[in-house]
Chain A
């Protein structure tokens, strides 16, 4: 029985029968350009009328792609949710073909994207995490072992060290880092001298600015700052380089060609960093002292000679060696963690990003921890 009323739009006509059934007569094209709009309007009509059955008449539809099929699917889902009837009318020719290609009759339940399977119970998650971390620790130990073995091998067979790679790594890690290490250290020296002079001036103890800057930089801040800068510059580079090689199968290629990936990739970087980091630290100390000197000469009326004499008087050769030793250990930490994170990369580009971040964060953390250990040793020893 026809209609109690008619709703019209350029894309559809609606007829409502007295028995509470609705017929949508869809018109024209049904594609990406109007699918969202159609779904919204037709769903609103169904929501308002709450029909017992819905018929969609496709007679006047000139073109329909999968966005059109999506409209029909959404309408059908709505009717299923309301326990109503749904049927299609006049599905001829091309439209019938489209519906069958897309398997409209069997298109089943909704899925939701991005949500992985159900979250397991706490105990399962705990066990999962324990197994994963145990695996990580195992990998870490085997990596340390392999680096140690390869280092020994290179010590016994120095010719097996890839000299060109090592020199290139020395340039990347050391020479190229010099400007930034120099600038930051100079500014640190400047700031330290400036801040301490404000206090020391009150006691007429300007000359001790030189002692403070020299001692603090050579013993503690020089190695620490240089380590942190190199971790940020080179540790991240190691992780991303090895990580990218990992996802593009280059490491597997090395292995199949009979190269030990650790000896090929890690040892040159490690040797290079252990050699250049102490020198970088030395430069850092020097630039910081120059920074302090600038403040001393231009703000505190000290002479350059006096400032340098006081610095030399304060420092012992042991302090410089101590800084050297610390830098060497920091260099081992930076290469070890950077390369390890690179080797741990699995999957795609995002994993390389995570490895790089983790390399920098873990290296800095380990450098600070190692520095604390050195401080304790120095306290009891010195």
Chain B
């Protein structure tokens, strides 16, 4: 499993106007793993995620997803690449005018030739998978934050992408709901083999789900640690990393 690289980031430089946010960072994500991007507030986690999903073009460097350089693709190639990824945004980003079912059905109707009945059955199955059976007809404004995230996850998974990206999945959720979402992520990773890339700073989540992490640092604007989270917590050479992962002030 460890040998198949699915995401490769090479010397990525990200800037916001004149400020450099990330300075020549490189790392790889392997197929089928749960990979966490960690860092304090302002360390550039979300910026990195937006580069990975192709929303921001890199200033220099390359982002290669499943063999395709997304910083240098034409429209058709970019669309093909987008079919390989699913993104769960921080707020769920469900379309408020559509029911949960219609939200999930949207990409399925657009990108497959399934009949309306089959789409409905599939949507039911997808919602079932995230424990939202029976909520097809609810509007996003009628359900709780955790349910919105789960419906967002069902929509992100609608076309069974190879890679799922999560932006702060635990943000705004109570500990129980947050733990349930973590379990769901692990469960989906095990059962469907989907590669998961998660941006978070929730330590509890990290130790539950992460197989490998990278840690970004605001001062050096680069990766200061990479590896197994528990190993880094106990044995990292960098005291800042140990403190961060042990939730101690520096």
Contact = CB atoms under 8 A, between A and B. Distances in A.
A36 B119 CA distance: 10
Contacts of A39: 114-115, 118
A113 B97 contact: no
Contacts, number: 94
B24 interface: no
Nearest to A97: B191
Interface stretch (B27-35, B67-75, B99-107, B175-183): B99-107
A7 interface: no
A98 B191 contact: yes
Contact of A31 (B115, B125, B160): B160
Given A101-B191, A107-B128, A113-B137, 16 more contacts: A36-B114, A36-B115, A70-B122, A73-B121, A98-B191, A101-B129, A101-B187, A107-B121, A110-B124, A111-B101, A111-B123, A111-B136, A113-B102, A114-B101, A347-B141, A348-B141
A97 B111 CA distance: 26
Interface of A: 31-32, 35-37, 39, 65-67, 69-70, 73-74, 77, 97-98, 101-103, 107, 110-117, 346-351
B125 A66 contact: yes
Contacts of A116: 137
Interface of B: 95-97, 99, 101-102, 105, 111-115, 117-126, 128-129, 136-137, 139-141, 159-160, 187, 191-192
14 contacts: A35-B112, A36-B112, A36-B113, A65-B192, A66-B126, A70-B118, A74-B121, A97-B191, A101-B187, A111-B123, A113-B119, A348-B96, A348-B97, A349-B96
A35 B122 CA distance: 11
A351 B96 contact: yes
A110 B126 contact: no
B58 to A, nearest CB: 30
B210 to A, nearest CB: 22
B191 A66 contact: no
A346 B142 CA distance: 11
B122 A66 contact: yes
Q: Is the contact region of chain B dominated by helix, strand, or loop, or is it mixed? A: helix
Closest A-B pairs by Cβ, 9 of them: A348-B96, A350-B97, A36-B113, A347-B141, A113-B101, A36-B114, A101-B191, A70-B122, A65-B160
Given A69-B125, A70-B125, A350-B97, A110 B120 contact: yes
A112 B160 contact: no
Contact of A113 (B120, B129, B141, B159): B120
